[in-house]
Amino acid sequence: MMLRLDPPLWLISPKGRCVAVALIDYGWDHDLLWVCFQAESGECWTWRNAEIRADKNVTMGVNCQP
């Protein structure tokens, strides 16, 4: 299953800040895959669920990073 994220979500990936535009779910025996565009380079990467973290939410004034 593929889900388009509307609105997109800002995340932290191993390559820095990125915006997630889609989520791929191959089923219960696979990690979720996040389709992201890197903020700095514009490159499109797909990251496993364990490789990404939530970015801070400026609107809510919440920082999800420790």
Q: Which residue has the tokens 């299953």?
A: 1
pTM above 0.75, yes or no: yes
Given this model, what pLDDT does residue 19 score?
A: 96
Q: Do 44 and 34 meet the contact criterion of CB atoms below 8 Å apart?
A: no
pLDDT, tens digit (0-9, with 9 covering 90-100), for 2-58: 999 999 999 999 999 999 999 999 998 899 999 999 999 999 999 999 999 988 766
Given this model, what pLDDT does residue 63 score?
A: 58
Angle in degrees, CA 31, 8, 38, rounded to 5: 75
Domain spans of the chain, in order of start: 2-54
Task: Report which of 31, 6, 1 is spatially closest to residue 19, judged by C-alpha positions.
Answer: 6
